[in-house]
Structure 1
Amino acid sequence: MSLKVIGSGFGRTGTLSLKAALEILGFGPCYHMQEVIKRPSHIKKWQQIGRNQAVPWHTIFHHFQATVDYPASPFYRELLHAYPDAKVIHTVRDPERWYDSTAETIFRSMDGLPFWAYKLPWPLGNFIDLQEKIVWQGLFNGRFPDRAYAIQRFHDYTEAVKQHIPPEKLLIFEVKEGWEPLCEFLDVPVPGVPFPHVNDRENIIRQFTLLRRTLYLLPFAVAAALGLLFLLGKQIARFFTKS
């Protein structure tokens, strides 16, 4: 299986809706950050890519016909070189709304994590690390909290995509446009079902709020467990001493 569609757009530009749409159109399975979470072996591969180490693309995408979202989207040029017959879809939305959505979801989930979260055993610590390397440092140079900078980066990145991808291979797409431009670009008929609009914002906030709370409570849980073990050890030692 070979990639036929490469999504170059930033996360929070409708990438999950595009994933669902592509799979309805027969371009599935479609890769997405969700797929990385399901495949711990891919996390280390993306860490290597984030360190500019060579990883054969087919070891990641051999079961997929399309890819959208992070962590693959920043590597659209490399992917098009590896899959020259593929087409590129660049998802966009209002930059101000994109920033707000990103700040309240995926950035909020990573911002302010305890320093030791990056050292957690594989795969959780590695997943946090790959996001930091590829997205927050790789795309935004550690300056995402600077709203003006991040929005300008959004504009500049879109212009770079337009410059690097031949016009006949590129679709600039907002998911609110629906099926017609997408199907025309991919040369497939419009399906007889509504275009999927997947809003995962609340789910992301809920999941990462749970993660953050768990990480902050983890040291206390470990300390409590060690305390119980210490007390249990003292009781056992006292029992054998009396015996």
Structure 2
Amino acid sequence: MTGDVDMLKVIGAGLPRTGTTSTKAALERLGFDPCYHMAEVMTHPDHVDRWLSVAAGEVKTREDWSRVFAGYQATQDWPASHYWRELADAFPEAKIVLTVRDPRKWYPSVRMLLSGENRPDLSAELPADLPEAVRQIFASMERMRPAMDQIGQAYFGSDWHFGGDMVDEDAAVAVFERHVAAVKEGVPEQRLLVFDVREGWEPLCAFLGVDVPAGEPFPHLNDAESMRQAFERMQEGDMSAFPFGEPGH
């Protein structure tokens, strides 16, 4: 497929750590490429300004959102998935994919990601010998903090801040379940796929009207342990695992 800079074709509505990296890889393999993901923000510093504008309420129309996602055909993960309602309205032709998983298993994974457990402190002074590519990623994420705070507070409360600890497990599971219910209620059934990556190619391909790749396993990427190891290697200047696309287990 050829990219259409004016129209998203697939909108991800799933929370982080619900198989969004695997689904991004799958969508790109199916021709919906490139697919926007948090990794794009980390590697394109100019994208931070786009999201600060979104957070400031300056992005409202289809034309505005088209500029945010210029060159992309699909989205997954925060920050994009937080705005699933706005994107669904702006691109009524697009289909919505809500990635899900067992919320009790989701909790420790998303807590590790958002709270900074086993992750560098983005606000700390960076080592002088840190490679420029790694320094750029950390700088981008630190600049994203106002936008990420705004997104996280919509789910976890006004006291939450990016890099701070999560709410407790029961409260987080309730957040997860409310989000899933809101998407199901807010999107017509024929336009929505509730998708667990363990289901593999078949439901995703059927929903999107494309063929299942013959003889190819569905990508299973970015498990929690791989992510932790990737952060550690990044701190040492090894970028080989970025953007955390190692196979999961």
Structure 1 length normalisation: TM-score? 0.77
CA RMSD, Structure 1 to Structure 2 (Å): 2.7
1:153 aligns with 2:175: yes
Larger Cα Rg: Structure 1 or Structure 2?
A: 1
Matched residue, 2:148: 131
Confirm or deny: 8 A CA contact 1:109 1:208 kept in the other structure: no
> For residue 44 of structure 2, what is the amino acid of its counterpart?
R
Confirm or deny: 8 A CA contact 1:4 1:65 kept in the other structure: yes
For residues 166-197 of structure 1, give each alpha carbon's deviation from its aligned partner in whole angstroms, at most 9, with x where no partner exists: 00000000000001111110011111111111
Distance in 2 between the 1:112 and 1:145 partners? 20
Unpaired segments ≥5 residues, structure 2:
126-137, 161-165, 237-249
Shift of 1:108: 2.4
1:162 aligns with 2:184: yes
1:27-42 to structure 2, matched below 5 A, reads: 27-42=32-47
Give the count of matched residue pairs: 211
Shift of 1:30: 0.5
Shift of 1:131: 2.1
Matched residue, 1:205: 228
Matched residue, 2:54: 49
In the alignment, which of 87, 93, 98 is matched to residue 101 of structure 2? 93
Which shifted more, 38-47 or 78-87? 38-47
Distance in 2 between the 1:114 and 1:196 partners? 29
Distance in 1 between the 2:38 and 2:205 partners? 24
Matched residue, 2:247: none
Distance in 2 between the 1:203 and 1:53 partners? 36
Shift of 1:42: 1.1
In the alignment, which of 176, 180, 194 is matched to residue 217 of structure 2? 194
CA 1:77/1:101 → structure 2, altered by over 3 Å: closer, same or farther? same
| Identical-pair percentage | 42
Matched residue, 1:65: 73
Shift of 1:207: 5.0
> For residue 97 of structure 1, what is the amino acid of its counterpart?
K
Distance in 1 between the 2:58 and 2:225 partners? 35
1:175 aligns with 2:197: yes
> For residue 28 of structure 1, what is the amino acid of its counterpart?
D
Distance in 1 between the 2:50 and 2:118 partners? 20
CA 1:29/1:170 → structure 2, altered by over 3 Å: closer, same or farther? same
Unpaired segments ≥5 residues, structure 1:
214-243
CA 1:124/1:13 → structure 2, altered by over 3 Å: closer, same or farther? closer
CA 1:22/1:109 → structure 2, altered by over 3 Å: closer, same or farther? same
Distance in 2 between the 1:147 and 1:184 partners? 34
CA 1:114/1:123 → structure 2, altered by over 3 Å: closer, same or farther? closer
